Structure 1
Amino acid sequence: MGVEDKKTSYRIYLVAVAIFVMALLVSIKLTNIQWVEGDYYRQLAKERTVKDFTIPANRGNVYSADGSLLATSIPNYTVRFDALAPTRDNFNKYAQELADSLSVMLGRPSNFYHDELRKARKHNNRYFLVAKGLSYTEYLRIKSFPLFNLGAFKGGIITEQRTIREHPIGRIAERTIGYERMGHSGENLEVGIEGAFAKYLNGKDGRQMMQKIAKNHWKPISDVNQVEPVDGYDIVSTIDVYIQDIAHHALLKQLEYYEADHGCVVVMETKTGYVKAISNLGRNTDGSYTETVNYAVWEAQEPGSTFKLPVLAALLEDKKVDTSKVYDTRNGSIPFAGGNVKDSNGKGYGKISLARGFELSSNTVMALAVWESYKDNPKEFIQRLKSFGLNKKLGVALKGEAGPKIPEPGDGIWSKATMPRMGFGYGLSMTPLQTLTFYNAIANNGEMVRPLFVKEIKEWDKIIKKFDKEVINPKVCSQETINQVRAIMQNVVKKGTGSKLYSPDFSMAGKTGTAQVNYGAGKDNMYYSSSFAGYFPAENPQYSCIIVIHKPSTSKGYYGADVSGPVFKRIAQKIYTDVPSTNEVKRLDKKIKKQDELYASYDTRMNKLTSGVPNTIGMSGMDAVAMLGNLGLKVQVIGMGKVKKQSLAPGQAITKNQTIILELS
């Protein structure tokens, strides 16, 4: 028995020692955690439960030149409820009132919200969804509701904010207004004005500390932000909403009628280079058209006959020919270096002058003129084109501008046929905006200006940065050359390939263009590009414009004058007839017989007045009031028309400030 007791005592001592050792080890570990590694574990806990969240700044607005809103950031709010945050007393006190308020605002029965709120508290739901997709005004309203007005900690309201970019005018000029967002591979996609001026629009993000309350669910630690976000600057573009609407719908109408693949239109203010309208529309699989690619800036191609303008300007500037020189178009087909240059009518125009050849868009005339003038020194021709700036990018603010390509001797693509083909716009490439810029320079008396899409950067009413006219070339060619080519372009519309566009009501000048695209890829892959470039009014140009339409249905037509020309005319016509104007009033000194008679009658009545009240019966109310007022009477008028009754008898003595009542018929 004694032995058993000793064994039992031994076991008890052993267990006690083990417990003591374990307690000692736990104490040592706790001490180590608290004092030695405490900072590390506290920081680790904080990192896992508290996080610094970025609060995106409100992106600046984009406005049109006339102040219309083109793009704006709209805050969008989601409100949730931490059902464990309020005390029991506060929850019981305000739950019903909160449910009543939610019912009025959100439209469901009050008892529904009351049951949901109590259910959330019962199940310890710290992230109960109350409402989403709220506007800022709605968010402020719901934030003021009972219980929620106590704030995040006492009231349990959790607010999540994100920003939505809206375009109030819809998808018109969407590609030019642009956007900035992440691509599928994580790259930053910067398009249009939104992308080009992102550093001004973005502002500075704020920060807020958030506490983790559940898996991927966080709530603010305090009711105020750690760092408040700073809104971005506003951008005032050069776009005129009225002209943009005209250009967009004129282009869309032609694309739909001709079942074309895509097209673009640009309208530019001649003197400043401000782009007043730009539309780029591509065909979708369902036959509709939307803005997906900025063809005007991005798409470089052989321009076709619209390039005949710089060719003509080069010939005249280098004094190679004059506009009266005659060329024989033969039967409309002239061989050059193993190939033939053909006129579009298939039979030629006989013997015609250079000016007439341009007006009729004769390929043979332009090819002959270039070949005969520069065959011994082709570099002179290329150098003249370069002096126009046609070999360089414009350097516009929008990203993605394609570079022009002007071949020259020594290039791998140069051959004997290159220069004659360049005479009618083949063998080189330019974007529509680059072509338009040269036309605009001719309209602007030789001053080439860079196309601009933004006028100002503003912070409220304060101008941060202003974009004025930027001159690329102060004089692309002599005034003599400019005057000649402008007169010829006016004749293109009056009696040339653009004669269908002529209107006696408003003047235009320009050049048609029809180019074959993918002509080397076989007949099935070849299609036409139809274009028109010019300016208006012809005598004092205010706007320049280019239209390019790709792959129109050949069964309906494909010539530039038929496909793109009407878009140009529609834009010019609408701007001419619909834009308000200020008319000068002339010949103010001219006598008007009726007015003279009325004044004479009034003077006669006034001269006949005595010191008494005059008889105004039969007079117009306006004349009677003027007459009586001049006599010092106060006049009250009842009705309209002529005086049929007066309260004071004619001849009655007049007392100063006396009132007379006139009843009019």
Structure 2
Amino acid sequence: MHLPSTKKFKKLCLLMLGLLVVLVVRLAWVQLVDGGTWSERAREQLQESRSLKTPRGAIYDRGGKELAISHMAKSLYANPREVKDPDGLAKKLAPLLKMDENVLRDRLKVKGAFIWLKRTLEPPEYQRIAAFIERDKIHGLNFLEESRRVYPNDMLAAHVLGFVGTDDKGLAGIEMAMDAVIRGQTHKQILDTDSKGTPIFKSIFAFQKPKAGQSIYLTIDSAVQFAVEQALDRAMQRTQAQGATMIVMNPKTGEILAMASRPSFNPNTFFRFREQDWRNRAIASIYEPGSTFKSLVTAAAFQEKVVTAQEIFNDTGAIDVGGRVIQNWDGGSYGAMPFADFVKYSINTGFAAVAQRMGGKRMLHYAENFGLGKATGVELPGEEEGILLSLDSMQPADVATMGIGQAVAVTPLQLLTAVCSLANDGKLLKPHIIKEIRDSDGLLVSYSSPQVVRQPVSTEVAHEVVGLMEKVVTDGGGKRARVEGYRFAGKTGTAERLRDNGAGYDPGRYIASFVGFGPLDDIQLAALVAIDSPRGLYYGGEVAAPVFAEAMTQIVRILGIRPSQPPAAFQPPKPAQPAALRQPAPQPPAPAPTPTGKMPMPDVRGRTIREAAQLLKQHGLFLIPEGSGVAVRQSVAPQAPVSPGTEITVRFEPR
């Protein structure tokens, strides 16, 4: 046998040794220098990263009733690496998911091992897809559980609650304002996968679940909210208005017990409604308050001592200020009467005169002190600030018209908050709608307490104005706001509607409103009603005051508030009937008095409101008009004996 020479054998050994050294050096280089890079590539191929979110915290009413909760729902995802026929699968999935076939096809063809197809499926959708996967042995489709927001009471308090998008982000209402608090934590989960990208079962559960979001307890009372929404719905149907809002507060604490707007929407299916339906009119719409503002003017004037309740004013029916004529609603004049009657009967000329005495500087000062021209700071998004003229831009006519609730624009919440200061001994409180916040374990995180902003007027002045406002409800234009068995105070308002772009007024459209509070023995409730562009009757006393009475009659029972006086003998007026707007009159000697001090009742049938008012004034009688047009009925028959000072209800109808 021929053996290789020793020289050749050595060369072969050296060559093998050299190759071994190269391999060792390369292996050391890969391990020590490039090891991190190759390890990362291996992890990328055998691991998947997914972001998982814990559920949002719940939203409750003040008593713990669920208003917004999160349920776990199935979300469908695909592993495109396992999908063999994306075109065919997209065609089959499209009708099951009610999605566009092209959208599904594009998603199934993306690179990678994970893509969402549809999130938070409805139970029927999940059942259809699960059955399809099992029946057709589909590979590459699977489900993950995600949090889905549910509003168990549908439209109740929709504008307060708001809604969330598919990404679990709050888009309106409390859901948006408190999103950072309510929203759960996001956890990045790393899943180990096999060579095909399928998650290994063990790794799915090998992570620590993050905490859910914190829960919000609102000041809202669900039962009160329901009563308010029912009253608004009936008002919308009755008046065929464009919109409406009502807010109920506790003037002693600033807590908002109810807040509703119409039109409304269902937050479970918010995307099926118009964007304007999402608008919370209570905080996002501004309007000239009209005569409801006169309660604040009265308080400011009393505080500045520019007028007293007993001072006599002579109403001439109109007043010219800088070329602007301000007149009473019917163009009539009522002669000499104390300022208290100007408040009770809402006579424009007297308030224009008082505003002139105050002057622009003081009028603006008190408007600002009552919180107007600035957002209240309530815990809701989208709050408007309202409009106050600057002192430099105010003309004499602006000062006078501000006295009757024009030349100033407010939100419903701003005005109610300001009037609540009168019901709270002159102290202005910051309104709030969040009672407390608790963590996912139920432990208290924070709570709200009454916050005094300032005191615009003294306690004595506030009490005096409250007394005058009670007369508005018992004897004046707010009579239809009476709640049988309870003492309430308030003020009606009727204002021309501003155009949506703010450029002037919208002809023939009005905002009818009423603001009031009570029971006066122990004031616990205050509310504002505003009806936007009602058809037909549009005075606040006719349209808004009955809504206040209807809702408050239910609310005092819901809250167990005992009556403050025995039931009255009067019958509550039907909501469809127009409101009383009393026209005060001077007391001239009654013509042809009888020996008993009474006189024959004049016949006002066939006369206009203005003509009837003037005729009754001549006899020392008060007019309570109902409707518009010409008189067709009167509460006291013609020629029947009647005493001076008697209130005569007259029904007016179109010719």
Q: Answer whether contact 1:354 1:365 (CA < 8 A) is retained.
A: yes
Q: Answer whether contact 1:280 1:292 (CA < 8 A) is retained.
A: no
**Counterpart in the other structure of 1:399:** 381
**Counterpart in the other structure of 2:430:** 450
1:501-516 aligned within 5 A: 501-516=481-496
Q: Answer whether contact 1:493 1:500 (CA < 8 A) is retained.
A: yes
Q: Answer whether contact 2:45 2:197 (CA < 8 A) is retained.
A: no
CA 429–80 in structure 1, closer or farther in 2 if over 3 Å, else same = closer
Match of 1:386 among 343, 356, 368: 368
Q: Secondary structure at the match of 2:396?
A: coil
State the one-letter code of the partner of 2:72: P
Q: Answer whether contact 1:532 1:568 (CA < 8 A) is retained.
A: yes
Match of 1:353 among 306, 321, 338: 338
| Structure 1: distance between partners of 2:260 and 2:453 | 24
**Counterpart in the other structure of 2:351:** 366
**Counterpart in the other structure of 1:153:** none
**Counterpart in the other structure of 1:256:** 237
* TM-score of the pair, normalised by structure 2: 0.67
How far 1:296 moved relative to its partner?
Answer: 1.2
The answer on 1:71 being equivalent to 2:74 is no
Match of 2:478 among 494, 498, 508: 498
Q: Secondary structure at the match of 1:445?
A: coil
Q: Answer whether contact 2:286 2:411 (CA < 8 A) is retained.
A: yes
* TM-score of the pair, normalised by structure 1: 0.66
Cα RMSD (Å): 4.1
Q: Secondary structure at the match of 2:372?
A: coil
How far 1:583 moved relative to its partner?
Answer: 11
Identity %: 27
State the one-letter code of the partner of 2:330: N
The answer on 1:53 being equivalent to 2:38 is no
How many residue pairs get matched? 494
How far 1:354 moved relative to its partner?
Answer: 1.5
Match of 2:469 among 489, 508, 513: 489
How far 1:214 moved relative to its partner?
Answer: 11
Q: Deviations over 1:450-471 (max 9, x none)?
A: 1111111113442111111111
State the one-letter code of the partner of 1:481: V
**Counterpart in the other structure of 1:163:** 147
State the one-letter code of the partner of 1:414: M
**Counterpart in the other structure of 1:465:** 446
| Structure 1: distance between partners of 2:364 and 2:537 | 34
**Counterpart in the other structure of 2:540:** 560
State the one-letter code of the partner of 1:381: M
**Counterpart in the other structure of 1:240:** 221
Q: Which moved more, 1:316-325 or 1:452-461?
A: 452-461
Q: Answer whether contact 1:298 1:402 (CA < 8 A) is retained.
A: yes
| Structure 1: distance between partners of 2:514 and 2:224 | 18
CA 582–424 in structure 1, closer or farther in 2 if over 3 Å, else same = closer
State the one-letter code of the partner of 2:363: F
Q: Answer whether contact 2:62 2:217 (CA < 8 A) is retained.
A: yes
- The unaligned stretches of length 5 or more in structure 1 are 1-24, 86-124, 143-155, 585-665
How far 1:287 moved relative to its partner?
Answer: 12
How far 1:159 moved relative to its partner?
Answer: 4.1
**Counterpart in the other structure of 1:613:** none
How far 1:506 moved relative to its partner?
Answer: 2.0
Q: Secondary structure at the match of 1:549?
A: strand
| Structure 1: distance between partners of 2:274 and 2:78 | 45
**Counterpart in the other structure of 1:177:** 161
**Counterpart in the other structure of 2:400:** 420
Which one has the largest radius of gyration?
1
Q: Deviations over 1:485-538 (max 9, x none)?
A: 111111111111112333542222100011112379577655211111110213
**Counterpart in the other structure of 1:606:** none
Q: Deviations over 1:357-391 (max 9, x none)?
A: 121122222101221x235xx32333333333434
| Structure 2: distance between partners of 1:353 and 1:495 | 15
**Counterpart in the other structure of 2:519:** 537
Q: Answer whether contact 2:264 2:278 (CA < 8 A) is retained.
A: no
The answer on 1:224 being equivalent to 2:205 is yes
The answer on 1:324 being equivalent to 2:310 is yes
| Structure 1: distance between partners of 2:386 and 2:179 | 27
Q: Secondary structure at the match of 1:222?
A: helix
State the one-letter code of the partner of 1:577: R
| Structure 2: distance between partners of 1:400 and 1:290 | 13
CA 251–218 in structure 1, closer or farther in 2 if over 3 Å, else same = farther
How far 1:437 moved relative to its partner?
Answer: 0.8
Q: Deviations over 1:543-585 (max 9, x none)?
A: 00011121111xx21111122111111121112334446899x
**Counterpart in the other structure of 2:280:** 294
State the one-letter code of the partner of 1:394: T
How far 1:33 moved relative to its partner?
Answer: 7.5
- The unaligned stretches of length 5 or more in structure 2 are 1-21, 83-112, 131-139, 266-271, 565-655
| Structure 2: distance between partners of 1:37 and 1:566 | 82
State the one-letter code of the partner of 2:246: V
